[in-house]
Amino acid sequence: MRICVYGAGAIGGHLATKLAAAGHDTSVIVRGTHLAAIRAHGGLTLRIGERRLFGPLTASQNAADFGPQDVVIATVKATALPDFADAVGPLLGPDTMVVFVQNGIPWWYANGLSSARPSPPDLSRLDPGGKLAHAIAPERVIGATIYTSNEVVAPGVIENDSATANTLIVGEPDDAQSERVQRLRAALAAADVASPATHDIRATLWRRLLVNIAGSVVSSIIEQPVGPSRADPAIRQLFARLTAEGTAVAAAHGVDVAEGTVPPGAPHEFPPQHKPSIFQDYERRRPMEIEAILKAPLAFARAAGIDAPALEVITALAAHRAAKHGLYQP
């Protein structure tokens, strides 16, 4: 398959390296020293413990250098999707799938939504100006949820510290078990990226979202990795309250999070030293995904009349903190 990974940072670089090493015609959109290193070495290196995996691929910061693809995998943060919408056009052929690998509530949530489920609240802040809806036809969209822990440790080098738990769950927005999704799952599995079937992509998304809300956001607020956060009984109690609130909000919108697909061998546990991506963004003073991970779920709660005091509090704290450092625009 011809595959372009748009955004070859920690997660995108991991996927691109494995897909390229598996023999796919793989390219990446990337910038800066990372781009220079990939060009100099002819690909990316993925470190998995003592193992080294090299993925030969082409790299550019300009999508026009590659032309139409079979699959575009967007791994940029939700905050960067408007720029993706502006640039993705040259990668789109008649049948190109666009896989959105982001945290939180996705901009396309209403696409293919069953009439048995309530309409979502206003999610326009996830797609400012409707750029994504204009650039990406609904029939191109593939939903995705990822479980993996990676870091860019040097230009052109990705380090993975979740060697036994790297999973990308993909599904059609209407949950159809299409031939193209089955082909994509098979390609991922053959590249050593587990991709189990899901029959409810929104349940899968909400289930992953609860990990972000209860673990990742709290970890970033208290500025501690996952392990120390979980070691504190009071913080564990906060995790439990946030999970219960998120589960109730999802249920009010017709989603049973227990039906969501999880990685093989679940429960999934990141290593104790793992710093969630939103925590890494805060430390490195990069835009934070406040809208997708916190504000949108809170809008779902309010639309359904669900009382979610813990979610209200951490959303206010995280948004204020991010805005203070210019990492979020309320």
Name the pLDDT band for 229 (thresholds 50, 70, 90): confident
Q: How does pLDDT run across 29-45, given as a tens digit for each residue?
A: 999 999 999 999 999 99
Name the pLDDT band for 232 (thresholds 50, 70, 90): confident
Q: How does pLDDT run across 211-220, given as a tens digit for each residue?
A: 889 888 888 8
Which pLDDT score, from 0 to 100, does residue 270 have? 60
The domain locations on the chain are: 2-201, 203-256+263-324
Second CATH level (architecture) for the domain 2-201: 3-Layer(aba) Sandwich (3.40)
Phi, psi values for residue 275, rounded to 5° = -105, 115
* Cβ atoms within 10 Å, residue 289: 27
Which pLDDT score, from 0 to 100, does residue 228 have? 78
For the residues 73-102, what does the mean pLDDT come to?
Answer: 97
- Asked if 2-201 and 203-256+263-324 have one fold, the answer is no
d(CA 272, CA 259): 27
Q: Which of 60-74, 217-231, 280-294 has the highest mean pLDDT?
A: 60-74
**Contact present, 259 and 203 (Cβ < 8 Å):** yes
First to last CA, the chain: 40
For the residues 262-267, what does the mean pLDDT come to?
Answer: 67
Helix (H, G, I), strand (E, B) or coil at 293: helix
d(CA 101, CA 294): 17
* Cβ atoms within 10 Å, residue 117: 12
Which pLDDT score, from 0 to 100, does residue 100 have? 98
Provide the CATH number for the domain formed by 203-256+263-324 in this structure: 1.10.1040.10
More confident residue, 283 or 245: 245
Q: How does pLDDT run across 117-173, given as a tens digit for each residue?
A: 999 999 999 999 999 999 999 999 999 999 988 889 999 999 998 877 799 999 999
Helix (H, G, I), strand (E, B) or coil at 9: coil
Name the pLDDT band for 265 (thresholds 50, 70, 90): low
Q: What is each CA distance from 23 to 2, 17, 180, 187, in whole angstroms?
A: 10, 10, 19, 10
Phi, psi values for residue 45, rounded to 5° = -110, 130
The mean pLDDT value of the chain amounts to 93
More confident residue, 263 or 117: 117
The yes-or-no verdict on residue 267 having pLDDT over 60 is no
Q: How does pLDDT run across 60-83, given as a tens digit for each residue?
A: 999 999 999 999 999 999 999 999
More confident residue, 267 or 225: 225
